[in-house]
Amino acid sequence: IRMIPEDAFAVRWRKPPRAALVFDMRSGDSLYRRDATRTYPIASLTKIMTALAVTAATTPGEAVVVPRGLRYEGSAVGLLPKGRRVRAEPLLGGLMIVSGNDAAIVLARHVSGNVARFVALMNEQARLWGLGCTRFTTPHGLSDGDRSCAVDLAVMARLAMRRPRIAAVAGAAQASYRFPIEGGKLYLSGHNPLIRAGYRGAVGLKTGYTDAAGRCFVGVARRHGRTFGVVLLDSPDPGKQAAKLLDLAFENG
């Protein structure tokens, strides 16, 4: 992300996000920033890197075994059939659309054999991409040790949206997959506040929340050949603040 010297627009907040960044998805130029290089907990925005690592190492139809001893906390797909083989793509959907911590653990173990090795892979990838304020301790983001900054998250967002598999699930309001459960279908409904509100041009990407991180969001929208991204960390209202910043980007970018 290239930090241009001056903001293209100014914003007054009643209650600002802890950190924010608006950027051009194609060029990487920033249009607005607030504490964009300061490191904070990022909650489930961690899963953007998880998805990048998973899509680099798997194919959509690849068989993944759901461990019998699977344990998790927080948000989940919740219908993963333990001991059964499932395709990688429904798990990727569960990871990104409903922010499934169970899907994150299953995919991490599939790719690297165990969670610790997968987290090491995530950190190595962050190092190779020059993400200097990023550090992961889990594949799902529940730990306060999963930390990054708005600038690094913008880099991850740009990389993620170039991957067709990630872009497809990141922009989905709802999705269904053939799945070995009762009824034979897994139905998922997304959390993206821009997509749920019908924001024009919204195509991604990921929400997150923990007590330490607050409400976090990386959003992407495309109109008339222009694509902008927004990162919000600890926002009082990610949907409204993201829409306001993206509106200004399309007006002034």
The region that residue 33 occupies, defined by phi over 0 for left and psi between -120 and 50 for alpha, beta otherwise, is beta
How many helices (DSSP H) and strands (DSSP E) are in the chain? Answer: 8, 11
Return the top range by mean pLDDT from 46-60, 77-91, 179-193.
Answer: 46-60
- Examine the residue annotation and report whether 99 is marked as an active-site residue of this protein: yes
Of residues 11 and 213, the one with the higher pLDDT is: 213
- 189 catalytic, yes or no? no
Calculate what percentage of the chain has a pLDDT beyond 70. 96
Name the catalytic one among 30, 75, 99, 112: 99
Mean pLDDT of 231-244: 97
Tell me the mean pLDDT in the region 50-59: 98
Q: 246 phi and psi, to 5 degrees?
A: -70, -40
Q: CB under 8 Å to 36, separation ≥6 — which residues?
A: 3, 19, 20, 21, 30, 149, 150, 151, 231
Measuring CA to CA, how many Å separate 113 from each of 51, 109, 116, 146, 227? 16, 5, 9, 20, 37
Active-site pick, 15, 27, 30, 47 = 47
- Candidates 15, 27, 30, 44; catalytic one: 44
Report the SS3 class of residue 22.
strand
Name the average pLDDT for the chain.
94
| Total Cβ atoms within 10 A of residue 220 | 27
Confidence of residue 4 (pLDDT cuts 50, 70, 90): low
